[in-house]
Every structure is written in C-alpha cells, then in structure tokens.
Amino acid sequence: MTGREFHPNGLLVIADGIVFPIFNELLNQGRLPNISRHIVERAVVDVENAISSHPSSTYENMQALNTGMFPYDPGATSYSAQSGTINDMLRFDNPSKGHTAKRKTIFHYVPANAISIHNPWNDGADDKHPGIYSLAALNYLRGWEGSNRAAVGRYEWALKNRQPLNFAEIWFPAYDRFGHAKPDDLLKIEYMQLDRHIGKMMKALQDAGQYDETLVIFMADHSMSETHGQTNPNEVARDAGFKPRIGRTRNNFDSRIFSYGYGVGQIYMAKSVSASELEKRINRMLENEAVEHVIFPDENKRIVYSRNSVAEISKRDLAYPYQMKILSGSNPFGYSDELCDLLRKPHIAEESLLWTFNEEQPDAVVGIAESMQHPNSPHLRFLASPGYAFGSNRNLTHLPAIINSHRLRNHGTLHRADSQIPLIIAGPKIIEPRKVAYARNIDWMPTFLELAGYEVPQGLDGVSLLRR
C-alpha cells in the first residue's frame, strides 16, 4: 500500500522548546510509555538527527514549520533610525502578519476541514481558514499546564464535532516556559505529563475511529541549553564603543540594541560610522567572553566574525546555494579543513546539512545566511557563547528581559544543544518504516504531503524524507 492509495489524516504535535537530551533520556528509560507505544513503535519515518531551521526563536521556527520554507527573520517589525524606536514583533505583534502571510501554509495543501490549535502563526496567512483556535478558556486559571489541558480538550472536541478531521496542528508553548524555569527533576515530571496528554489524544483518535487512519507527526521547534551567565546586551554593545539608546534617552545615541531568544543580540544603527570604526567595534565586542559570533550583512554577503577568524558567506542566484570564503584564520564554526573545502564551493542548503549534521554547530552556514536575508534585518547580529544569555536587563528597556532574566536554560545559539529536536512521523504502515540520518524541521511538511497522497508544491526549502 502506498501513500497515494488513500488520504490518511494528519496530526502535528509541536512541543515547544523540548530539551532534547532530557526528553531522549526519559524515552530510552521507558518513562514515556504513550509516546513509545503510539509514536516511536508505529514510526514510518524516524529522524536520527533532526535540526531546527533557525538558530534562535520559536517565532521564526514556527513560520518555517507552517510553510516548509526557511523563515523570514527581520528581528523587529520596524525600526526608526530618527527616533530609535523599535516595534517589537516578537512580543507585541505576530510575525505571521506581513511575513508568513506572503507564503502558503500547510493548510493551503490539505482539505478545508483542518484546525490549528493554540497556534497564532496561521492567523493572517494567505489561506486563513476558519479552524484557528487561540484558546481563551477557564483552564488558563491553572497556568501553563492549564493551557495544555485546554489544547487537548479542544482536539477532543474537534474529533467529535468536525468529522472527518483531515488535519490538526497543536502547538504546546508551555514546554518552552518549563524549559526556561524548571530544574531537571521537575522538567522530567512535565515531560511525563506531556506523555499522558499524548495518550489522551490517542484514545480520542481511537474513540473516533481515526487512529488507524491518522499520521501523527511529533516534533519540537528547537531545544535548549543550560545558562551559566546572564549578560546585558546594552552593556556588551556599550563596552565595544557603541552608544545605545537606553530608556528614554533622546540625544547622543548612535544605536538601539535589542535581544530575543536571549541567545541573539541585534544592533540597529541610528547613525552611520565608518567601515574601519565598525570593524574595531566588532572586534572589541568579540573580546567579551559572552559573545561568540558577530554577523554583518553587506548586500548579498554575510561577514561572520569570531575570535580567531572571519568568513564571508555569499548567496548565489540559484535556489539557496552558498559559498563560504575564509577571509582570515580557519573558519568561525570549528569545522575541519576538509569540511571548509566543501563549503567554499556553491552548494544547496540540503548539502550543507548533509555535510554538517554531525558537527557541534550543524548547518551553521545556512542558518546564519538565511537568518539575515530580510531587508528589515538589523545592521549587526551577535550570538551568545555556549552557557551565556542576553537576558539580564538592568536598564529597563525591554520588559520581557526583566521578567525572563536568570533563566535556567536558553536557546538561540547555533550549537547542537539548542538545535537538535525529535522528529517522528508515525501511523498506518503505508510505507516500509525507515530511519533517516538527518533532516530539518521544515522537512516534515513535504514528507507528510507525499505520504498522505497530496501534491508536494514546488519551491519549498523542505525536502520530502521519502526522497533520501
């Protein structure tokens, strides 16, 4: 039986910010029995090294998940050099509005009887559909775990009332919050509760008679790594020679500093400085042990600075080929000379992932290059070193940083600890079950469409895992 002989339904479960090593430990110990039974043991595609398509935040990764394409990543919705004002897209507006809205989401390719639970990234999309639920329920009185229960309850309701339910997407944002705040022992309890939620959804599928007709995709958007030190991004920039606008300062500033994911800092220049002065400031910034990389966009090139090397990443005219040219030192990512020789030549994004998925910084070249293509991207972006975060904020310039400072874990670097995720497609055995060595989280969508017998659109960055 092949995927084109019938159209199985789909259920996409996204556990935001799953700390992959802890989750994997529980899974291997048999402490997640529902995920083991209903997903792992029924896997038709199981990815051994799944990598997020963006080095930082949920917002960009969720854009990618819903479109099968690398995310737009401008950072802020808009920035005014005259006033130094930033409209904070990541907290007070939704990135899909004006960005994902320009792309077709998964809901464009499946029947109309589909729902998106707890996920705002389809709101305002080109094919906005009536089944979007940004939940508002009494369950929220129970906090983040209440939001999980509300999402499961909505799915149970939909199975009973929206027959047949061709596709459902459920985003569980609570696990990102838990990962930031809870120590290992308490986080394990939350993952075991997630396992019970999965069990409840699988029982609902069985009760609705759709269990053997549904492909279940289980994944995360990104992982997290432990934080050992908090650093104020304004102070990092000021120590390097920038004059950031802090608080209500109206005069005598040349830049505005913003951070998100707390592994990524951004510098928007209000006043131009010479190229030589900018390079001096970049090098001084890299003297701070909390900063690992600084990326500078120059038309179609991205100049990547690290403490010992500088590389240029150029985008070519064809679909996502890149060339990395070492300007000084060896390379910014710790890659071998042999790997650098491959990366020096134009290559497509899939080749970049193939060559790097076993590295400590898998696919860093494509990750950095893709993350600064948008015209509203910042003038400079700096990434935190492992163990550091830009969450400390004593200048009262970014409210979420005050709330979220002193986190136990953060995300936002290019390292495996932040980027490796689970990615399993399970359900009816419509193909011979297979393990795949490597994938990005954008690959699930073309894979599901092919398995379910739908047409896989041209132009996606994601690649069907049936083709590997």
pLDDT in tens, the chain (468 residues): 344 467 899 999 999 999 999 999 999 999 999 999 999 999 999 999 999 988 767 877 888 888 898 887 666 556 676 666 666 544 444 444 444 446 788 888 887 788 888 765 544 444 445 555 555 555 666 788 888 998 999 899 999 987 788 999 999 989 998 999 999 999 999 999 999 999 999 999 999 999 999 999 999 999 999 998 888 888 999 999 999 887 766 678 898 888 766 788 889 898 889 999 999 999 999 999 999 999 998 877 889 999 989 999 887 766 567 888 899 988 889 899 999 999 888 888 899 999 999 999 998 888 888 777 777 778 899 999 999 988 765 445 445 555 555 688 988 888 999 999 999 999 999 999 999 999 999 999 999 999 999 999 998 989 999 988
Exposed e or buried b per residue across 155-165, where buried means at least 16 C-beta atoms within 10 angstroms of its C-beta: bbebbeeeeeb
Q: Which residues pair with 79 in a beta bridge?
A: 86
Tokens 């030589």 locate to: 276
Tokens representing 377?
Answer: 């991207």
Under 8 Å CB-to-CB from 91, ≥6 apart: which residues? Answer: 399, 400
Q: What is the CATH number of domain 9-225+418-467?
A: 3.40.720.10
CA distances from 273 to 243, 379, 460 (A): 12, 11, 39
Element (H, E) at 47: strand 43-47
C-alpha dihedral sign at 413, 294, 245, 228? positive
- Other Cβ atoms within 10 Å of 84 Cβ, number: 17
The pLDDT of residue 115: 86
The pLDDT of residue 74: 61
What burial class does residue 336 get, using C-beta atoms within 10 Å of its C-beta: 0-12 exposed, 13-18 middle, 19+ buried? exposed
The pLDDT of residue 9: 95
Structural contact between residues 242 and 218, judged by C-beta atoms closer than 8 angstroms: no
Q: What is the dihedral of CA 244, 249, 252, 255, to 10 degrees?
A: 30
The pLDDT of residue 243: 92
The pLDDT of residue 402: 55
- The residue extents of the domains of the chain are 9-225+418-467, 227-413
The pLDDT of residue 155: 93
Widest CA span in the chain: 69
Exposed e or buried b per residue across 387-414, where buried means at least 16 C-beta atoms within 10 angstroms of its C-beta: ebbbbbbebebbebbeebbebebbbbbb
The pLDDT of residue 118: 76
Going by their DSSP bridges, the two strands 114-117 and 167-172 should be labelled as: parallel
Distance between CA atoms of residues 194 and 198, nearest Å: 6
State the DSSP code for 187: H
- SS3 category, 253: coil
Nearest CA to 444 out of 47, 132, 17 is that of: 47
- Other Cβ atoms within 10 Å of 306 Cβ, number: 19
